[in-house]
Amino acid sequence: MPPPIVSPALSAVARRSLPEAIATELRRAIIAGELTDHTLPEARLAAQMGVSRAPVREAMMQLEREGLIEFDANGRTRVRALAEKDYDEIVTTRVALESMAASLAAPHWTDDDTAFITRNIATQKLAATLADLTRLDVEMHEYIVRRSGNRHLLAFWQCIQPQFEMWLAHTHRLQATLTHKPRQLTVDSHQRLLRAVASRDPERAANAMRTHIEAWREWLPAHFPVRKANGKPARN
């Protein structure tokens, strides 16, 4: 008797799974700051999304692995509140990964790459919402990491991407509440970064990326009250 054919059965799961779709929607809402009560009751979410609890539970496990939610000792689920140490470690990790990525991307940077980033930055300036601004910001950084050509570096960066995006979205909202202009701050900083990477000088690109990311330490949680007191803008 011939062995059973396995590949047709595997190809049937090519479509997007329900837990993945739920995780995508919850991830979007968490990053956008829409789940303001920070608690995520599984039964209520399942009822609201019109699904059973099983795929919601699976989606929750994925979001926990990404560092966006956590389970307390009683099994309750809540949006993870990043502490100052988390913010500091995200910045430190990004500096290490993205300065290397910029250095690797610079030597083979092309006019097409510059055109892509230029369009992205132009769209940032016109972003209808802060959520759109955050998405475009992350997209630009991911593009540079991908252009490094280092697959392992990209994989490491993607591990922290969800927490980075949640933090960035929070900071953009904070800038807006302090009457700063997050779009203009972001655009100006990214234009300086683009000039450095487009110079095709690895050292200049790495230093520019390091400076760009380190400047976000201005918005670490410990400094939030100071920002409200003196209104000093971030040096993106």
7-79 topology per CATH: Arc Repressor Mutant, subunit A (1.10.10)
In angstroms, what CA-CA distances link 135 with 8, 21, 100, 142, 173?
36, 18, 22, 11, 13
Positions of E strands within 55-210: 69-71, 77-79
pLDDT in tens, the chain (236 residues): 544 444 344 334 344 689 999 999 999 999 988 886 678 888 888 998 999 999 999 999 999 999 999 988 887 888 988 888 888 899 999 999 999 999 999 999 999 999 999 999 999 999 999 999 999 999 999 999 999 999 999 999 999 999 999 999 988 988 888 766 889 989 999 999 999 999 999 999 999 999 999 988 877 765 554 444 444 444 44
Cβ contact 103:206 at 8 Å: yes
Could you tell me the residue ranges of all domains in the chain?
7-79, 84-230
84-230 topology per CATH: Four Helix Bundle (Hemerythrin (Met), subunit A) (1.20.120)
Cβ contact 197:106 at 8 Å: yes
Using CA atoms, how far apart are residues 18 and 9, in angstroms rounded to an integer?
18
φ and ψ at 77, to 5 degrees?
Answer: -110, 135
> What is residue 93's three-state secondary structure?
helix
Q: What is the pTM of this model?
A: 0.82
Cβ contact 79:177 at 8 Å: no
